[in-house]
Structure 1
Amino acid sequence: MDRQAQFEALVAVLKAGCESAEQFTLSYDAEASDFIRFNHGQVRQAGHVQQASVSLKLIHDGRHADLSLTLADDPTEDRLRLEQALRQLRETLPLLPVDPYLLPNTEAWSTESWQTTPLPESSSVVAQISEMARGLDLVGIYAAGPIYRGFASSWGALGWHQANSFNFDWSLFHANGQAVKANYAGLHWDSAAFVRQFEQAREQLQYLGLPAITLAPGQYRAYLAPAALDEIMSMLAWGGFSAQAIASKQSPLQRLYDGEARLSPLVSLDEHVSGSLSPAFSGEGYPRRDLGLISAGQAGERLVDSSSAAEYQLPANGANGGEWPSALSMAAGELAQEEILQQLGTGLYIGNLWYLNFSDQPAARMTGMTRFATFWVEDGRISAPVNTMRFDDSAYSMLGDQLEALTRERELILSTSTYEQRQTSSTRLPGALIKRLTLTL
């Protein structure tokens, strides 16, 4: 099915059906995805999902109402459903109060983005995974295919975004029940890159067979792999860059944005929409651009959706309704991948963190557990796996005065969420070498 043609046909239905004083916005989401589950290194479930849905907002006299519906991929049926939705919203609007924070984008704009590098046939990917996993207890899921996003409004906005992507999220289990967790994702499948990622996981799996040790609470030199750093960044993204959270003094990075604290000069963070899996427009109809959130450790721009723009008199910059980053990118450092263990010397190699939460949000202090491939390193060599430990530390320490280096290589981490549909959010992160990380138990 031509998804763009389907979307544009629905836009035409709304333009014809709206009354003169009514305005509308229409968001479109679709995918054609292969989902393949592995267990014990073999395919246990394989399926293909095609789905499309729209979210319609009708606006009149300061009031607005929303309705979402799943499309049937039948032009006649979809037109009838959309016309019925329009009538239903029209009847609902008089019952609603005026929204003082309603600030739709009334400018006309047009953009198209096509990231259509062909993905390999899923059968060939499965063959490579199965060959690499021979003799191993591999558990994982491979999801791949095109994702489509569209937006249109009665003011003349029209956006289209299509991107092919894949995401293989897997774990290798040792006979003792311990596991190494790994991920390979992107817009272009590179067999050599996948082999390197897999071999690193296989090597770490061998170390899990050594007797595990438990460390005493205290401060330890540590290396955070990109997947572990991603968990920390996910916590900071929870209101950290939100205009609403900053204005209401609820951001975990409040002290940074108030100028009372700073991070290491090594830390630069962007909302890097260009070339990412995320569309260059929001579901509210605002074009998106790259934003410099943190520059050399100092606060920069913030994410502003339409309601924050209306409430705090700020220019909207295409943030989503929760003002979360969806294409977060951290600048690389100078530490080479092959030198990580040598530069770590003696300390912790942390592959993943788990179950994070804030222990002191105003101080950007968070706590969580080590899990999956955490090792004790002695004189630049892995000597033992480390039993699960709890850390409790502040971003102003981990990414501030205790940050020693970031790696040259960065890892693209795509959202593994498939709740309702595959997501377009991503992070691109290096690994981080930290002088002191606090373990509490």
Structure 2
Amino acid sequence: MQHAFEALVGVAHNALHAGEQFTLGYSAEQSRFVRFNHAKVRQAGDVSQASAHLRLIRDGRQAEQLVTLSGEAQVDGQRLEAAMQLLRQTLPLLPIDPYLQLNTAPWNSLSCQAAPLPVLDEVLALIEREAGDLDLVGIYAAGPVCRGFASSFGAFGWHQANSFNMDWSLFHENGQAVKANYAGQAWNASDFTQRLRQARDQLGFLGQPAITLKPGSYRAYLAPAAMDEIAGMLCWGGFSAQALATGNSALQRLYNGDGQLSPLVSFSEQVSGSLSPAFSDEGSPRMDVPLIQHGKARQQLTSARSAAEFQRVANGADSYESPCALSMAGGNLPSEAVLQRLGTGLYISNLWYLNYSDLPAARMTGLTRFATFWVENGAIQGPVNTMRFDDSLYSLLGSQLEDLTQEREMILSTSTYGQRSTGSSHLPGALVKGLNLTL
């Protein structure tokens, strides 16, 4: 795939006219998908696809087109030339872009994370052995994902990362379910087996009578998957330079200095070592960016356009200014001591349907989901009926945060909309003194 991309870069250079500049993005994958129901393979297939994102620039104007690639060099070269010609005809019809800011510095970035992928037969054998008698529903995806970028200014970036993602639920006969995930780049059969057995153990508790709680504030433990939902909400403009400049960020108070989180809280954009490329879709090298350190705001994610519009310095963020590899520092709580430290309260495995109930106050609302348990004296008593929470981030990760787990979970995006995502988060679990349930 790298050779195919390099060939397209050569075509773009040769097709360029005097006074024109181009940027060329490239996305490709070779993925294997397997869908499970009742722990049996119900559907399996392979996907091989690639596309190029061509942008033509001249005299302060820009136009772009997405080109679907066939994998045949001659055909793809002709498609790119045709796209270049169409963009050339379109440019004079467009106004000058006042926020066009191009990175004209040449740079080079090469990364190939080619860790061996798990053998599918071994994955299937483990599922059959550990969960063959259960109603396991899920999907497995694995394979290399590639990203490329090049420009007429001399920039060239190539990124390939092998990864796997097994996302599944175990359903009880009463309709309740336990959701689990195992994903990464380095396959470990023992770790996968442990995840399966942990989900099986939680499934056993779902057969006990469900407990209904009254609205109020409850001591709670939020597992990494639940924290991922909260972090995902923060990624909707929370760290965006544009959102902060226009007053549309949930973290406005934090970045203005009017609010503060717990000193335990540190977030960063940790691109190095992640599945995401070390360059943006706008053509800038990416770097690790400290976003929140010890509860206080630090840097923002600033794209080239925001830098031009708001007189800031770009730091390699993509155009949507959302973290692609969000990392949260761990705390002091060993994972094996979670139930003991929780004592009496809620063990929340997952959250869902989150939204902001008060954006300026960073107040979120959502529902508990999948394997939420009531715990007394460090022992699980039974499942809790679905409840809605409504609470502020300044409470959950501020005044009410007691500790974070030492261990963190790497959570890869399961999104396959159009193509497999390279997004990820690396998060601990959180023990909070009070979580507000409303109904």
TM-score by length of 2: 0.99
Q: Quick one: distance in 1 between partners of 2:203 and 2:112?
A: 39
Q: Quick one: distance in 2 between partners of 1:79 and 1:117?
A: 31
- C-alpha displacement at 1:317, in angstroms? 1.1
Task: Write the deviation string for residues 245-270 of structure 1: whole angstroms up to 9, x where unpaired.
Answer: 11111100000000001100000001
Q: Quick one: distance in 1 between partners of 2:107 and 2:99?
A: 22
Alignment pair present for 1:22 and 2:20: yes
1:259 to 253, 257, 260: 257
- C-alpha displacement at 1:130, in angstroms? 2.2
Q: Quick one: distance in 2 between partners of 1:84 and 1:393?
A: 53
Aligned partner of 2:123 in structure 1 is 125
Aligned partner of 1:272 in structure 2 is 270
Gap runs ≥5 in structure 2: none
- The one-letter amino acid of 2:224's match is P
- C-alpha displacement at 1:123, in angstroms? 2.2
1:107 to 105, 108, 116: 105
Task: Write the deviation string for residues 166-203 of structure 1: whole angstroms up to 9, x where unpaired.
Answer: 00000000010000000100011111111111111111
2:88 to 87, 90, 112: 90
Q: 48-57 or 127-136: which moved more?
A: 127-136
Task: Write the deviation string for residues 22-55 of structure 1: whole angstroms up to 9, x where unpaired.
Answer: 0000000000000000000100000000001000
Q: Quick one: distance in 2 between partners of 1:270 and 1:103?
A: 25
Q: Quick one: distance in 2 between partners of 1:356 and 1:58?
A: 39
Q: Quick one: distance in 2 between partners of 1:296 and 1:120?
A: 38
Aligned partner of 1:420 in structure 2 is 418
Q: Secondary structure at the match of 1:128?
A: helix
Q: Quick one: distance in 1 between partners of 2:43 and 2:121?
A: 13
Aligned partner of 1:195 in structure 2 is 193
Task: Write the deviation string for residues 115-135 of structure 1: whole angstroms up to 9, x where unpaired.
Answer: 001112222212212222111
Aligned partner of 1:293 in structure 2 is 291
- The one-letter amino acid of 1:58's match is L
Aligned partner of 1:379 in structure 2 is 377
Aligned partner of 1:342 in structure 2 is 340
Q: Secondary structure at the match of 2:228?
A: helix
Gap runs ≥5 in structure 1: none
Aligned partner of 1:282 in structure 2 is 280
Q: Secondary structure at the match of 1:366?
A: strand
Q: Secondary structure at the match of 2:287?
A: coil
Aligned partner of 1:304 in structure 2 is 302
Q: Secondary structure at the match of 1:372?
A: strand
Work out the percentage of aligned pairs sharing the same amino acid: 64
- C-alpha displacement at 1:104, in angstroms? 1.3
Aligned partner of 2:30 in structure 1 is 32
Q: Quick one: distance in 1 between partners of 2:401 and 2:290?
A: 20
- The one-letter amino acid of 2:97's match is D
Q: Secondary structure at the match of 2:127?
A: helix
Alignment pair present for 1:67 and 2:65: yes
Q: How does 1:232-251 map to 2 (within 5 A)?
A: 232-251=230-249
Contact 2:126–2:193 at 8 Å: present in 1 too? no
2:47 to 38, 46, 49: 49
Aligned partner of 1:160 in structure 2 is 158
- The one-letter amino acid of 1:430's match is P
1:178 to 176, 179, 188: 176
Q: Quick one: distance in 2 between partners of 1:352 and 1:33?
A: 27
Cα-Cα RMSD: 0.6
Contact 1:37–1:43 at 8 Å: present in 2 too? yes
Aligned partner of 1:5 in structure 2 is 3
Contact 1:34–1:122 at 8 Å: present in 2 too? no
Q: Quick one: distance in 2 between partners of 1:179 and 1:158?
A: 46
Task: Write the deviation string for residues 283-339 of structure 1: whole angstroms up to 9, x where unpaired.
Answer: 100000000000000001110011101011111111111100010000011101110
Q: Quick one: distance in 2 between partners of 1:412 and 1:126?
A: 22
- The one-letter amino acid of 1:244's match is Q
Q: Quick one: distance in 2 between partners of 1:185 and 1:108?
A: 35
Contact 2:372–2:383 at 8 Å: present in 1 too? yes
- The one-letter amino acid of 1:314's match is R
Q: Secondary structure at the match of 2:244?
A: helix
Q: How does 1:399-438 map to 2 (within 5 A)?
A: 399-438=397-436
Aligned partner of 1:213 in structure 2 is 211
2:75 to 74, 77, 86: 77
Contact 1:113–1:160 at 8 Å: present in 2 too? yes
Task: Write the deviation string for residues 111-163 of structure 1: whole angstroms up to 9, x where unpaired.
Answer: 10110011122222122122221110000000000000000000000000000
- The one-letter amino acid of 1:167's match is N
- C-alpha displacement at 1:220, in angstroms? 0.2
Q: Quick one: distance in 2 between partners of 1:97 and 1:268?
A: 42
Q: Quick one: distance in 2 between partners of 1:58 and 1:107?
A: 17
Task: Write the deviation string for residues 337-387 of structure 1: whole angstroms up to 9, x where unpaired.
Answer: 110000000000000001000000000001000010000000000001000
Q: Quick one: distance in 1 between partners of 2:16 and 2:398?
A: 54
- The one-letter amino acid of 2:349's match is G
